[in-house]
A = this chain, B = another copy of it.
Amino acid sequence: MKFLIATTNMGKIREFYTLMPEHEFEPLPIAYAPPAEDGKTFVENARIKARAAAGVLPVIAEDSGLCVAALGGAPGIFSARYGGYRTDRERNMYLLRQMVGKTNRAACFECAIVCVFPNGRELVSVARCNGSIVQVPRGDNGFGYDPLFEYNGSTTGEMTQGEKNLISHRGRAIRQLVRMLDRL
């Protein structure tokens, strides 16, 4: 099992590593603020230190998807399981079948990032990239619906990672998050 070990004492960490060789340890990150050890017993103090370390790293999570105007915003939050298919390729083919005969090809990629800090504070960054759905998939880069999504003449599957980051929903949301973090 992997544990976070709530001490900065190298002598103690060495003893845990030696005596629990079948387990893994993650040391405390530098950002950890040690709590006041104001317990009345060793157990109380150990509990205070364990609880204080229990949410010590801020967490970033992301959710994103493709929203197609002619499909009423689908696949949207169901992008990863659209049509019940397992692979990107099957979902791409399924989406193109739904688009047969649709003249409105407008679509957008949307990305939401939530960053949760140990004190419960949240930062939320949402961004979009507007484009359209091609008739035939193009490009082997990226993942997901990238071969179907055209922006300024290229699909995101035809772009390099650098080109895609400049314009993509996730690139924009991440840069916006960085600005929020810089202002903290």
* Complex alpha-carbon distance, A65 and B124, angstroms: 44
- Name the CB-closest residue of B to A111: B42
* Number of identical protomers: 2
Residues of B within 8 A of A111 (CB): 42
Please tell me which stretch of A131-139, A147-155, A168-176 contacts chain B, meaning at least 4 of its Cβ atoms lie within 8 angstroms of it.
Answer: A168-176
Number of interface residues of A (CB under 8 A): 72
The 22 sampled A-B contact pairs (Cβ below 8 Å) are: A1-B58, A1-B181, A2-B29, A4-B59, A6-B59, A9-B143, A15-B174, A16-B60, A20-B174, A37-B77, A39-B77, A42-B65, A43-B126, A45-B77, A46-B61, A47-B116, A47-B124, A49-B61, A49-B63, A50-B61, A53-B59, A53-B61
